[in-house]
Amino acid sequence: MSDYANDSRFPGPDPYAPLNDLPSFTLTSTDLVDGDEIPEKFRAPSSESPQLAWSNLPEGTKSLAVTCFDPDAPTASGFWHWAAFNIPADVAELPTNAGAAENLGIDGVKSLTNDSGERTHFGAQPPEGHGPHRYLYAVHAVDTEELDIPADATPTVLGFNLHFHAIGRAILWGWAETK
């Protein structure tokens, strides 16, 4: 497993460093290799979301959230590509392109508007010539069945709620560059 936080190719900070140190669990993908370049079909404009599967969740997990964040975007706040929550704890994977649907194809799941203005997964798209960017796919184990977050909230609001309700976090990452 490659270390997204200590790779000198990337200019941005480790966005999870100031957060609670949470136990991890198993997170895999048939579409992404941790630390490798992201295949074209998972980049904009195609924007398919990768298959993600998880296991060995912490005891007390009642729901899950899935996010994708680019900490290397040329902003002071990174760029949110995906934010979905209230995923039932008995769901163990999202198939390829589940992020095309606001509810991931699962009743009760909610997605927030990402920084591209969509409630679906938005693929990797670093600005031309800006260098490589990391895309951190995180699955968050949550201690409540439902997070009460307004539909017009931002992914940052989800992150704030996860600070108080996440009991585990697993990250799988890839990178992309537009030359």
Weakest mean pLDDT among 8-12, 32-36, 128-132, 146-150: 8-12
Residue pair 139/170 in contact (Cβ under 8 Å)? The answer is yes
Q: What is the mean pLDDT of residues 78-94?
A: 98
If one compares 89 and 11, the residue with the highest pLDDT of the two is 89
User: Residues near 32 by Cβ (< 8 Å), separated by ≥ 6?
Assistant: 38, 39, 42, 50, 137, 172, 174
Is the pLDDT assigned to residue 179 strictly greater than 90?
A: no
- Name the token pair of 19: 């957060």
Q: Is the pTM of this model over 0.95?
A: yes
Q: Do 11 and 131 contact (CB within 8 A), yes or no?
A: yes
CA distance 71 to 39: 19
Neighbours of 132 (CB within 10 A): 16
In DSSP terms, 67 is beta-bridged to: 83, 138
- pLDDT confidence of 2, banded at 50, 70, 90? low
